[in-house]
Amino acid sequence: MRVLFVSSEIYPLAKTGGLADVSAALPAALVEKGVEVRLLMPGYPEALAATANRSSEATFTDIAGIGAARLVAAHMPDTGLPVWLVDCPAMFGRQGGLYQDATGADWPDNAQRFALLNHVAARIAGGALALKWRPDIVHANDWHSGLLPLLLEAGGGSRPATLFTIHNMAYQGCFHSSSLDGLGLPDDVFTPDGIEFYGSVSFLKAGIRYSDHVTTVSPSYAREILTPEGGCGLDGLLRDRRSRLSGILNGADYRLWDPTCDAYLLRHFSPADLSGKRICKAELQRELGLPVAPEVPLVIYLSRIAEQKMADVVLDALPSILARGVQLAVLGKGQANLEHRFRNLAPLWPGQLAVRIGYDEQLAHRLQAGGDILLHPSRFEPCGLTQLYALRYGTLPIVRNVGGLSDSVVDFNDESLRTEMATGFVFDEPDALAMLRALDRALALYRKPMAWRKLQRQAMQSDFGWETSASRYLALYRRLTLAGPAGEGIARCQAGFADAAE
């Protein structure tokens, strides 16, 4: 089984969020199962610089009218997996973010940038390059590679089967219709039945509409996106394609996120011996300029600063959170106005509130290790990895009952019989009151050290490794390749597809 795995970010070459973690860990888990995976991503300068044994595999003088590019072959610095990078300095060789400039504004040519990635992927997958390698499956991820199933379908002839994974419906890659001319797409696709979305071009819609199968990253989210509330305008199309939609829960990469061997921690710890966690907490308090107080609950908020993550609600609730006598450590990056509010509020609670705005991978690990409670509310959450990591580190998560959070955290409730399985605190409504009630339940348990430690151990022992999820992807790849790319076979094997949840 040969898989071309296309993603706009892959850790450690480039990362803005969970997509990068998944794009690193899932291919590695598939390789463990004997799958031959090759990765493809944009050649951002930091990604090119971080790869080993680079060589030029192909050159394009002008690909699809977008520009000149080079296909660079290299290996991942950690796993050694083969990775191709699309080297096009005019598109990817710039200082700033992957998708935005330093001021937070989207790059104006994002449509062309990612169309280029898709065209290169289509050349590889369609066998147009003399590479001596063709995939059986093309696995495209999020809007950045949404045009790929369309390009392969439009290319005619024999093509690999296509799987499109939605990591977040809220990011759709919608562009003004005037960008259409420069994308090298067939003339007839800009229709409501194609990639037109309320007058714009939608890369996400293209991925959903033209792929052989669509997955999303948790069974609950797979159901939620079928509703007007969760479907971000594409629920109708998703309902039409319901028989080809399933949810596979993401995993956590325990090679990187495991407190028994985490490279970024001063002390390691395990469910059997939590003494190292207490040392990590003291170190973290020191590092953040908070009083070193073992008895004070240390709550962490580690997140993209966005309304999706209820950052606005957390900000509004700050006085109430801190009135409960906790310490709160915030690490995040995102929406400028919300970042600004966090920065401005930090000095009001010296010794209680520590705010770090920016992206800091190592501090993220130290927060997970030293924190007592992860505050992880979300208005919607396709899967969420942060709570999976928190579980492993015995940092008990407070999460909203939505998407992958519902699928991964079991609520602690004194009255329920599920206490033996409980791993955190779950609340329903997306508001401050519900979140604070969950915080109160957590703090009440924190005051009972024996019970707290029991819950910590249960959380740390829950297994969200990639093994199970990678097996599910592999089973799906097999079904798709058996069905054949022409579509008729796919219809044949529909009966075998689980409805919404894999």
Stretch that binds ligand ADP, among 37-45, 122-130, 325-333, 339-347 (CB under 6 A): 325-333
* Cα distance between residue 251 and residue 29, in whole Å: 10
Does 379 bind ligand ADP (CB under 6 A)? Our answer is: no
Q: Are 217 and 473 in contact (CB under 8 A)?
A: no
Does 364 bind ligand ADP (CB under 6 A)? Our answer is: yes
How many angstroms separate the Cα of 326 from the Cα of each of 265, 322, 433?
23, 6, 17
* Cα distance between residue 496 and residue 481, in whole Å: 14
Minimum Å distance from CB 391 to ligand ADP? 12
Does 264 bind ligand ADP (CB under 6 A)? Our answer is: no
Q: Which residues pair with 59 in a beta bridge?
A: 70
Q: Are 152 and 125 in contact (CB under 8 A)?
A: yes
Stretch that binds ligand ADP, among 73-81, 145-153, 301-309, 318-326 (CB under 6 A): 301-309
Residues 13-42 close enough to bind ligand ADP by CB under 6 A: 17-18, 21
The closest of 499, 241, 223 to 382, measured between CA atoms, is: 223
Member of 360, 465, 471, 489 binding ligand ADP (CB under 6 A): 360
Q: Which 3 state secondary structure label does DSSP give 42? A: strand
The closest of 269, 9, 335 to 145, measured between CA atoms, is: 9
User: For ligand ADP, how many residues bind (rule: CB under 6 A)?
Assistant: 16
Q: Are 398 and 405 in contact (CB under 8 A)?
A: no
Nearer to ligand ADP, 120 or 252 (CB): 252
Minimum Å distance from CB 9 to ligand ADP? 10
Torsion sign (Cα): 282, 285, 286, 290? negative
Does 384 bind ligand ADP (CB under 6 A)? Our answer is: yes
Nearer to ligand ADP, 18 or 97 (CB): 18
Stretch that binds ligand ADP, among 58-66, 383-391, 428-436, 442-450 (CB under 6 A): 383-391
Does 385 bind ligand ADP (CB under 6 A)? Our answer is: yes
Tokens for 363, please give them: 């501090």
Stretch that binds ligand ADP, among 47-55, 158-166, 170-178, 297-305 (CB under 6 A): 297-305
Name the E strands within 317-451: 327-334, 353-357, 373-376, 396-400, 425-427
Residue type at position 45: P
Stretch that binds ligand ADP, among 229-237, 360-368, 458-466, 476-484 (CB under 6 A): 360-368
Member of 359, 430, 431, 437 binding ligand ADP (CB under 6 A): 359
**Nearest to ligand ADP by Cβ — which residue?**
18
Q: Are 300 and 371 in contact (CB under 8 A)?
A: yes
Stretch that binds ligand ADP, among 141-149, 156-164, 311-319, 353-361 (CB under 6 A): 353-361
| Structure letter (DSSP) for residue 134 | -
Does 332 bind ligand ADP (CB under 6 A)? Our answer is: yes
Q: Are 266 and 234 in contact (CB under 8 A)?
A: no
Does 78 bind ligand ADP (CB under 6 A)? Our answer is: no
Alpha helices in 88-230 (DSSP H): 89-92, 110-125, 147-155, 203-210, 219-224
Member of 386, 395, 406, 469 binding ligand ADP (CB under 6 A): 386
Minimum Å distance from CB 309 to ligand ADP? 7
Interface contacts to ligand ADP, rule CB under 6 A: 17-18, 21, 302-304, 331-333, 359-361, 364, 384-386
